[in-house]
Structure 1
Amino acid sequence: MESADKIPESPLTRNKQNLCEVCGLEFSKRVYLKIHLQKHEGEKEYVCDICKSKCADQSSLKEHKKTHAKVFTCELCGYVCSANSKLTRHLRTHSGERPYSCDVCKSTFANSSDVKVHMVVHSDAKPFSCDYCDYKFALNSSLKRHLRTHTGQKPYSCNVCGYACSVSAGLKRHMLTHTREKPHHCHICGSEFSERFRLKKHLEMHANEKPFPSGLLEFSNQIL
């Protein structure tokens, strides 16, 4: 019969210092806990009740929640977000900046994700069909906008005057009548405009000037 000192030690014990925060098991030694944690590697059981992001353990979740405590505010309209990257994207709605472009048609976009969505229009696939007419679309979002021409739905409304429209871009243009913002600037003479198409019309005036303003054609193509 083996003596008691030769009986292998069980890794499991009631030891709060070596507690697995994932499943609640307790271990006699730290090394056993580390080996055990490898089983949980890649598991994400802890869910943020604010944004529903998942974390591997309780301590990671606590660190994640600290990101929600950080507040970034737009000085132009008061928009509030939890990350500086989100604020940067939001500011482009005021400045009109569109730093991402399509390699096929040179259309420009405010966000890189918009370029990926846009690339679908260059394919032949149009899987989204209108139930009211024969129109077909490459994007489901395009179909939804089109359907409003049949239903008359206007889901976007102004919280200042009650004006309603069928597309979000229409509401953004309308809001400029309240804020008096003019985010589109002429790089030649500095004139400011509330809408991109007005800037394009203005640039056509410069196109008739002699000598022809340097770089105008390239700039005009970028705002199409």
Structure 2
Amino acid sequence: MDTVKNELDNLCRGCLCVDRLLLPLNKNVDLFFIFLGNELSISEDSKYYNILLCWECIALLKKAEVFRKRVQTAHRYFERILGNPSTTRALSTLNIHNKDDYDLIYTENENPEPVIKPEALKFEVTFPENEGNCHIKEEAYYDDNDDNFDYEAEEPKPNVSAFVKKEKKKKTKYKKITPISKKIKTRPIKYTPEEIDRCIEEVVYTLKDILAMRHEKKPNRIKNMESRCNVYIMKLLDTQKKDLRQKVKNDGLTCSECETVVPDQLALAAHWESHPVALLRCRFCELLSKSRKSLCYHVESRHSIIYSCTLCPIDFRALPEYYRHDRELHRILICDYCGKKFNQKSGIERHIRHNHLPAVCNICNFEFKRKNYLREHYRLLHPELVESKRDIVRELAYCVECDLQFASEYFYRRHLLYAVAHKRRIRPKVPCPDCGKIFSRKSYMDNHYKLVHVRKSQHYCELCDKHFINGYAIRTHKKFVHEKYEKPKNKICDICGRGFHTNRVLINHKRTHTGERPHKCSYCSAAFAQNVARKTHEKTQHKHLLQELKGFST
């Protein structure tokens, strides 16, 4: 029965397709029930609006809904205007255009050539006023049956295009670009030669610093540098390569640019890295140039307009600086929920929609605080919507050890990762610093150390002058030794039926039935059922060996 139910889950209820992505029908459910009719039985999932259809059936259902709305609108419109039939108007989107200016009527006569009825021509033919300038072309009409030629003047054709209305120009989709002066406060400025000199500053870079300003994608191009100055730097690099190829002579190597003499090639390479390059820089946009004349022209053309901020009294000579100032100070949007900052409106809208608005599952109508929680819900409970690219194999999502069937492989992997049954319990190992005995907790090791090695413990019995390792041990001691309570023998042997008060005594007793002897002597082949018997055997039978070991250790 499970296999039949699985096949029906992947089946479209409209066209019986299996190889398509199925989506739940949230809208037009009533129209779907009308199409089913009273003869067909409605299944249980259809009653809860959990109907799965493919994209084609959903599209057809949407078209039927549009047609139903049009019919309802027409019926309401008909009832409203029933008293006044003159105001009726068709709701169809199809139109018929009659153009009487050039829709001509032709009739067939005995003559083979058609004759145009004069009633069909509703336009007038206009001729120019000066008849002398008007020229009418005459063409010959040739009939195959006659041997003679008849020359007749053709009737002038009416200028139909003059009576046809010109089509309106289509509106362009592009908006009119508003000038910058309408958005930003601007005012022109004229520079004097002295002011231009103040706008230009002299700077000195090393060749190494200039090469660090190279463009990442264009290694032959240096950022924010004029083209002529860029060519000069490239030539300087070629000169450097030629100098480094020189062979060392008696006097050494000479720099071709500044004629400095160095002893070897390593010194020449170091000299070229620190070689000074004098350039000119614009104070407004930091453009580098070698020519003062070109840089003066740059200042007069590019920085002749002052851009004023409308929100604070700051002026800028370059438009990118104004935009940077406006973006960093006046265009920052802050989220009301978490205080995160954004530079664009679309970014903060996306952030609020994904992180702060509730997300609703379309299938089970569960509401989540964040969209990632909804995504996790889809992975766990509705994997057919998430893993649409591959089929869900139910055999790969079955846990044999726990006997559990999961909805998807993701859920099965999550079970293996976090379930207690598949997660190994790692017990901590805390050794005793003196004897090396290992304990699972530090408190157990501390109690052992104080009782065995220090001979002190806070759990002390005043009646018999004994120390105990913990509170449970002293309570048990007082209860069964001093208060004379009988120990309950509720640990029953399943072989002989004897009862014991501890599991350890029960295990030692069972070994008498099975004959198991796990405790072996360290010095001979003897084995024992209890550890106490092994220790007694070693002390009595191998006493000399124990004394030798103690003497060797000391």
Question: Please, what TM-score do these two structures have when normalized by structure 1?
Answer: 0.47
Higher relative contact order (CA 8 A, sep 6+): 1
Larger radius of gyration: 2
Return the TM-score normalized by structure 2. Answer: 0.22
